[in-house]
Amino acid sequence: MARHAEKLPWKDLASAFELKETNSCQREARDLHIRVQPDTKETLTEFLNAFMQNVTADAIAERQKYPEKYDVPNANEVIIKDDVAERITPTVRRWHPKGNWLYDSDIESTRIPHRGNLCPHENESEQCFCVLSLKERKMAAFQREWAYNDCYRFEEVNGEAFHNLEVVKSLLLHGEMEPILRSCAYDRNSLAEWWEQRQCYCMSGNLGWDMMYKNALRMYMMLNLLYCFPETWDKEGEPIDDYRNVKSYQLAIRSSTKSRDLSEVTTYPHRDFFGIEEDQFNSYPKPFDFTRWKSYMKKDEYSIRLYKEMMASCDEPPRGSECDSGNGDDLESIPNSERYYNLEYYPYGLMSYEEFLNFEKPVGYQPHSTDIPHVRRMLCQKGLPVELADQVMETADYTPTRSLYIDGKPFHPGNRAELDRYLEDCWQVIIRCIMIGNELGSKMPSENVFVRTFKECLRELFRCDCEGTYELFNNFDEETTGVNR
């Protein structure tokens, strides 16, 4: 049974799609294709309304667990309490800026004994490189405001405010909502501005907390919808994995787990569930096996033009340099010519799931928590003491990187309990986002921002080149409500 099937009409939604082995409108990819029929708009609208009614009701019920109204905390008050800080620090450690090796420096201020994961630096004038500093737990950190910045000045103008946003995302992920709700009492709270944000207007908007909502919604919708097509995961009572080759499924996983320039925390629950490595999928993808997938590439005319200009400027090129190689017209003669190609079309649904996982870079085995004691036991059987075996595993960073017991197969019967937990976690993230939106009220970018995002996710997952489908996904609720939300 699909998740929350008693409240959400999943079967009705599934009836608006058909599973097609090939889709001419999607480069012959295997996918769920929207049925453009007279009742399709009504079906989509009814599901959207049911979804929004139920998540809103659950968000209201969740909000009632907290005081009805908060006074604005003093700027110096620590609003992330010790127990909460302990719980979120492992998550903060994952996204905390790497490469700052001063964490382990022999500086006097870093030699203060730590209390578990808690920062001991009560004096802000002290040099502190703790993952979650005491300074970042105070209300003052939540009062940092977003401000417009020009290109290349994001960190200079908004770096500290963005750091607090990542803390907020970590709190949201763990369900630690009280510090967020308390900070919303501040009348100049910038969370509404951070809903959908980017480094500058030249770049895509992937820094905001809307990505928490989008990623959870995308995977919640995709998995529940596919469950309504049992022919993709069951054959005469035996589990099969055909759903993993469906275009929209591969797209959903990549979109929810791909590495981005600055913000990674929104991907963590989805990477952990599917066993996706950091940088396994990239915002600017190129195939690892260029020769095999070259037919899906197109020449980057801008880079080629720059290359030719460089060639023309080389009077006497240094031997062995790029100017000394190739004739400037034959692209294939240029060293590393694959740099001058970009993907014209990501081949979702045109490759197996294993090919999909290894498309951008080869990946190895992703350990499950049950693998850890097994590997430790093997090392000890080779004669290593337990302490040394643990040190070897720590050095190799051999830690659990997936929660699915049967690797990469969420619909396998052996993964049912973990799938249910993951879908419930996605639902909880969705209702927490709506709870924050309700708390901010009129400060949010628009009244129907969550509805609009739902429609965007639907369009992203199932878009195709068929005439009228773009308008259908954009405006399906317009006739029923009289307004395009």
Q: In whole angstroms, how far apart are CA 479 and each of 3, 101, 105, 399? A: 29, 58, 63, 52
The per-residue pLDDT for 116 is 63
Say which residues have a Cβ less than 8 Å from residue 31's Cβ, sequence separation at least 6. Answer: 19, 20, 23, 246, 247, 248, 349, 462, 464
CA–CA dist 212, 276 (Å, integer): 17
The per-residue pLDDT for 332 is 65
Say which residues have a Cβ less than 8 Å from residue 389's Cβ, sequence separation at least 6. Answer: 376, 379, 380
> Per-residue pLDDT for 424 more than 60?
yes
The per-residue pLDDT for 307 is 74
CB 436 within 8 A of CB 171: no
> Per-residue pLDDT for 315 more than 50?
yes
The per-residue pLDDT for 176 is 98
The model's confidence at residue 97, banded by pLDDT at 50, 70 and 90, is confident
Instruction: Report phi then psi at 235, rounded to 5.
Output: -135, 105
pLDDT tens sequence across 249-268? 999 999 999 998 789 999 99
CA–CA dist 261, 246 (Å, integer): 28
Mean pLDDT of 109-138: 77
Mean pLDDT of 80-90: 96
Please tell me which residue, 64 or 130, carries the higher pLDDT value. 64
Please tell me which residue, 159 or 323, carries the higher pLDDT value. 159
Mean pLDDT of 233-247: 95
The model's confidence at residue 125, banded by pLDDT at 50, 70 and 90, is confident
Supply the DSSP symbol for 338: G
> Per-residue pLDDT for 481 more than 70?
no
Name the amino acid, one letter, at 341: Y
pLDDT tens sequence across 386-398? 888 888 888 887 8
Structure token pair of residue 226: 């596919």
Q: Among the listed ranges 95-99, 168-172, 325-329, which one has the minimum average pLDDT value?
A: 325-329
Name the amino acid, one letter, at 250: Q
Instruction: Report phi then psi at 229, rounded to 5.
Output: -120, 75
Unique residue bearing structure tokens 């240094």: 318
DSSP string, 268-304: HHHHHHHTPPTTSSBSS---SSTTTTGGGEEE-HHHH
220: closest CA among 443, 431, 472, 484? 431
Q: Could you tell me the pTM of the whole model?
A: 0.90
The per-residue pLDDT for 129 is 83
> Per-residue pLDDT for 456 more than 60?
yes
Structure token pair of residue 47: 């599901």
The model's confidence at residue 100, banded by pLDDT at 50, 70 and 90, is very low
The per-residue pLDDT for 166 is 97
The model's confidence at residue 485, banded by pLDDT at 50, 70 and 90, is low
CA–CA dist 98, 261 (Å, integer): 13
Task: Count Cβ atoms below 10 Å from residue 262 Cβ, excluding itself.
Answer: 15
CA–CA dist 410, 418 (Å, integer): 8
